[in-house]
C-alpha cells in the first residue's frame, strides 16, 4: 500500500497556519500585540532560515493555550478556520490528496504545527491521518508544553516511523510533498520526494538531486 505524505503549511495551504494563529491572537487582543507580533515574526524568520529552536518556539506559541478554557479556545479556532484558513486551502492540493486516495494510497499530513490548530484543517482537506506536534493536557486544559517529540525536522521522521509501526505499514512506495528545506530529513527518507512551491534552498537542492518540483498554487499543479 502506497504512502502519500504531505506537509501542511505553504504546501497544502497558501500560508503558514502556525504563524497566522499567532497573528489571529494578536487581532483578538488576547496577547500583547506589539511584543507578541515581533516575537512571532522573529521565530517565523528563523524557521525560514533553518535556524529555528523548536523548543523555544513552542514555549512561546503554546503559552496562550494554557491561559484560557478549552471552550473559548475552540470558539476562537472555529473563527480562525473560517476567516484565515479556509481561503488558503489550495484546491490543487486537495485534488492531489483526493487523487492519491482514489488510488488507494494512505494519505497523511505531517506538520510541525500543533494538533489543536491543525486537526480541523486536516479534517477539511480529507486525509487519513494527521501527525502534528502534540500538546500536553492536565484536567482537560492545555499546560502550554508539548507532549512527546515535536513533529519537526528529524522529529517528523521519528514520529512517522512510530506511526507506521503501529499501523503495520512501511516506507515502500512512499511520497512526501513539502515546500521547505526544514523537511529535508523526511524528504531524504521517502522513495519519492516532491518539492512543492519550494523555498529557495529546497529549490536548489531539488535541482541538484533531480527531485520533481511542482506548484499547487497554479494551474500547472
pLDDT exceeding 70 applies to what percent of the chain? 99
Under DSSP, is residue 105 helix (H, G, I), strand (E, B) or coil? coil
3-214 belongs to CATH 3.40.50.1000:
yes
Residue 99 to residues 6, 123, 212, Cα–Cα distance (Å): 13, 16, 18
pLDDT at 220: 42
pLDDT at 109: 98
The rounded distance, in Å, linking the Cα atoms of 158 and 42 is 27
User: Structural domain boundaries of the chain?
Assistant: 3-214
pLDDT exceeding 90 applies to what percent of the chain? 95
9 annotated active-site: yes
The rounded distance, in Å, linking the Cα atoms of 208 and 206 is 5
197 annotated active-site: no
Averaged pLDDT for residues 96-125: 98
33-48 vs 54-62: helix crossing angle, rounded to 10: 150
pLDDT at 221: 42
Average pLDDT, the chain: 96
What are the helix and strand counts (H, E) for the chain?
A: 9, 7
Find the catalytic residue in 7, 179, 183, 197.
7
Find the catalytic residue in 9, 105, 179, 183.
9
Averaged pLDDT for residues 78-85: 98
Stated pTM of the model: 0.96
pLDDT at 198: 98
Amino acid at each position: 500500500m502506497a504512502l502519500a505524505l504531505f506537509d501542511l503549511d505553504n504546501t497544502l495551504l497558501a500560508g503558514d497556519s502556525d504563524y497566522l494563529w499567532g497573528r489571529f491572537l494578536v487581532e483578538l487582543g488576547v496577547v500583547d500585540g506589539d511584543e507578541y507580533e515581533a516575537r512571532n515574526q522573529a521565530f517565523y524568520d528563523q524557521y525560514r532560515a533553518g535556524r529555528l529552536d523548536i523548543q523555544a518556539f513552542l514555549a512561546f506559541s503554546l503559552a496562550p493555550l494554557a491561559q484560557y478554557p478549552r471552550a473559548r479556545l475552540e470558539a476562537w479556532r472555529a473563527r480562525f478556520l473560517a476567516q484565515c484558513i479556509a481561503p488558503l486551502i489550495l484546491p490543487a492540493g486537495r485534488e492531489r490528496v483526493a487523487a492519491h486516495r482514489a488510488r488507494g494510497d494512505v494519505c497523511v499530513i505531517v506538520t510541525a504545527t500543533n494538533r489543536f490548530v491543525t486537526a480541523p484543517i486536516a479534517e477539511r482537506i480529507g486525509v487519513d491521518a494527521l501527525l502534528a506536534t502534540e500538546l500536553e493536557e492536565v484536567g482537560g486544559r492545555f499546560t502550554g508544553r508539548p507532549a512527546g517529540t515535536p513533529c519537526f525536522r528529524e522529529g517528523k521522521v521519528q514520529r512517522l516511523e512510530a506511526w507506521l509501526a503501529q499501523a503495520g505499514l512501511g516506507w515502500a512506495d512512499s511520497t512526501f510533498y513539502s515546500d521547505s528545506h526544514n523537511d529535508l530529513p523526511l524528504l531524504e527518507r521517502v522513495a519519492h520526494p516532491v518539492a512543492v512551491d519550494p523555498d529557495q534552498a529546497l529549490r536548489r537542492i531539488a535541482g541538484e538531486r533531480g527531485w520533481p518540483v511542482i506548484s499547487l498554487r497554479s494551474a500547472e499543479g
